Amino acid sequence: MPAPLYALGAIASVQVGATVARHLFAFLGPTGTVFLRVGFGACILLAIARPRWPRFDARQWRAIVLFGLIIAGMNLCFYQAIARIPLGVAVTIEFLGPLGVAIVGSRKALDFAWAAMAAAGVALLSFSGGAVTTLGLLFALGAAAGWASYIVLSQRVGRLVPGPDGLAFALAVGGLALLPFGIAGAGSRLLNVSNLALGLIVAILSSAIPFSLEFAALRRLSRQVFGILMSLEPAMGAAAGFFLLGQRLSLRDGMAIGLVMVASAGATRTAPAPAATDVP
């Protein structure tokens, strides 16, 4: 299979998982759904990694716990966003996180141009009205900040904790942090077998499959090419929202999404480090 298809498959899986989660909101709400997504994701990764937790020291645990709280906050903000605004719009705004990481600290005029292009795209989305609400935009911006923090902290945890152990325990911490929110938002509906089955599907589509496909893609592609391919995620989110959720976007929304995609691809192309990684 051509190497780029692994990356594109990962993107598609994440966006399809988001549409399944969006359907689950009617039964569990965003908080109950995100709890099942992160909780099941943690169980899957713990089963695969089988980490040995007693060997970690205090510094490693601090990094893991902080990483887990960032994962919880990022996913909670994203699910609250897609409950209020179209999926394509939420994914586009969330993509400001990795874009910011790509250009932070840069003094190149071209990188400032990419940042201005992305800002113009978000401004167009902000004033599009209709289905785009202020609260939804704020939650999407919170998810963007969480994604940027996730990228930075994942590098730190990766240095401190070898292998997948750090991410496995971080997801477990994130699941525990989301537990009270999930109970408050969904209550006994979390025990419904159908809801649990859908939550497991969301976790598989949003975590297990993308992790596997991204790993395969990174073995075959340069990080730079991988980052450019990931810049297609806003368009994939808009397509998933249109075909699976019936969410229509205006021409201005499409132009705004295109601006952010071009800015992200350009920043990835000129940045010395990879600009994007997917969300667990």
Q: Which residue has the tokens 């399944």?
A: 20
What CA–CA distance (Å, rounded) separates 165 from 153?
A: 14
228-259: burial string, b at 16+ Cβ within 10 Å, e else: bbbbbbbbbbbebbeebbebebeeebeebbbb
Which tokens go with 56? 């970690």
pLDDT along the chain (280 residues), means of 10: 89 96 97 97 90 82 96 97 96 92 80 91 80 91 96 90 87 96 95 97 94 86 85 94 93 93 88 51
Q: What is the pTM of this model?
A: 0.91
How many C-beta atoms surround the C-beta of residue 118 within 10 A?
Answer: 26
Helices 109-126 and 87-94, axial angle in degrees (round to 10): 150
What confidence score (pLDDT) does residue 271 get?
65
pLDDT 10s digits, 77-131: 999 999 999 999 999 999 999 888 888 867 788 888 999 999 999 999 887 666 7
